[in-house]
Amino acid sequence: MKADEEPKRVLHREERSYESRAKGHDKGAFSRFVREGRRAIVENHSGGMSTRELAEKVGIGYEQFRKMVNGQKPITKRDFIIAVCAMLRLDADEANEALDMQDMLPLVKDRARDAEIMDVLDLQLSDRLTIEQINRRLVARGFEELDVIDRRRPSYASLSQCPFRVSKESVVCEVDELLYCDPYDSLETVYHPGRYHILATMWVRDDVERRLFVLRAEPTGRFSMDTYTHDTWKPEGFKSIDETGVFRPCFERLQGKAREELARMVNRLHDTRNYRLRRSARVIDGSVHVFLERYNYAVPEWGEYYLMDYSDGEFRLSVSRQSQFMGRYLSAADYEKYYGRGLPKAKELYRSTEEIQEKVDAPSLSWNKKEVLKLRLAAYKRMSEELEAFVGDLRAGTAHICNAEAIFGGVYYDYRFGVLESFGLTEAFGCVRDDANEICATSTPSIGVVLADGPTIQLSLDDLTSGFELGLGSPEEIAAFLKENGTLSIVDLL
How far apart are alpha carbons 366 and 3 in whole angstroms? Answer: 12
Neighbours of 409 (CB within 10 A): 13
Q: Tens of pLDDT along 138-188?
A: 887 778 889 887 654 444 555 667 788 888 888 888 876 554 456 678 999
Question: What pLDDT is recorded for position 110?
Answer: 66
Work out the angle at residue 86's Cα, subtended by the Cα atoms of residues 84 and 89, and round it to the nearest 5 degrees: 110
The two most distant CA atoms of the chain are separated, in Å, by: 92
Question: What pLDDT is recorded for position 434?
Answer: 79
| Segments of 285-402 assigned E as strands | 287-295, 305-311, 314-320, 348-350
How far apart are alpha carbons 263 and 171 in whole angstroms? Answer: 13
Work out the angle at residue 226's Cα, subtended by the Cα atoms of residues 198 and 221, and round it to the nearest 5 degrees: 40
Question: What pLDDT is recorded for position 14?
Answer: 40
How far apart are alpha carbons 109 and 433 in whole angstroms? Answer: 62
The closest of 312, 279, 314 to 399, measured between CA atoms, is: 279
How far apart are alpha carbons 407 and 424 in whole angstroms? Answer: 16
- Contact yes or no for 52/63 (Cβ under 8 A): no
Q: Tens of pLDDT along 303-354?
A: 899 999 999 999 999 999 889 999 999 998 888 888 776 777 899 999 999 9
Q: Using CA of residue 329, residue 334, residue 340, residue 345, what is the dihedral sign?
A: positive
Neighbours of 311 (CB within 10 A): 19
0.85 exceeded by the pTM? no
